[in-house]
Amino acid sequence: MTKKLEIYKCEICGNIVEVTHEAAGVLVCCGQPMVKLEEQTADSSTEKHVPVIEEKEDGIMVKVGSVPHPMEEKHYIEWIEIIVDGKSYKQYLNPGDKPEAFFPVKGSNIVAREYCSVHGLWKS
Ligand SMILES: [Fe+2]
């Protein structure tokens, strides 16, 4: 059973998918069940992943994280997403970009998520 907005990864080929319609089946890739990524919410190392949400006059800025995360070829923030009042917005990033994204939207109920190519899925 999947749930909307859940994220699953194939541990063989590395495919990652986000659920947009929930159903009873098990997601399979490369012949085995995909693994549901759990959203981490607390950093224990010096490297910071928890998204920092800043509400601005003209929108929402999300930075990863309280100390800027590396944006190297093999270790970077692949995307930042916000979910605001039931709408989701995603910004894809590349190595060399700043680990942040600005969304020109307003709302009261804000969740931010990001995916690190090495350390997985994070949420605030
Ligand atoms: Fe990381």
pLDDT tens-digit profile of 35-44? 999 999 998 7
Pair (86, 112) in one structural domain: yes
Reference 68, options 115, 100, 92; nearest CA is 100
pLDDT given for residue 112 in this prediction: 98
Spatial separation of the C-alpha atoms in residues 66 and 64, rounded to whole Å: 6
pLDDT digits (tens, 9 = 90+) for 36-92: 999 999 987 777 999 999 999 999 999 999 999 999 999 999 999 999 998 999 999
pLDDT band at 9 (very low <50, low <70, confident <90, very high): very high
| CATH number for 63 | 2.60.40.730
Identify the domain containing residue 113 by its residue range.
52-123
What distance in Å separates the CA atoms of residue 71 and residue 36, rounded to the nearest whole number?
Answer: 25
> How many domains are contained in the chain?
2
Average pLDDT, the chain: 95
Distance (angstroms) between ligand 1 centre and the Cα of 23 equals: 31
Distance between Cα 121 and ligand 1 center (Å) = 10
Distance 33 CA to ligand 1 centre (A): 25
Average pLDDT of span 90-112: 97
Shortest CA distance to 70 belongs to which of 48, 101, 92, 42?
48
117 alpha carbon – ligand 1 mean position (Å): 7
| 119 and 59 inside one domain | yes
pLDDT at residue number 44 = 77
| Residue 60 shares a structural domain with residue 94 | yes
Residues 67 and 111 in one domain: yes
Its pTM stands at 0.93
- Token readout for 29 is 């890739």
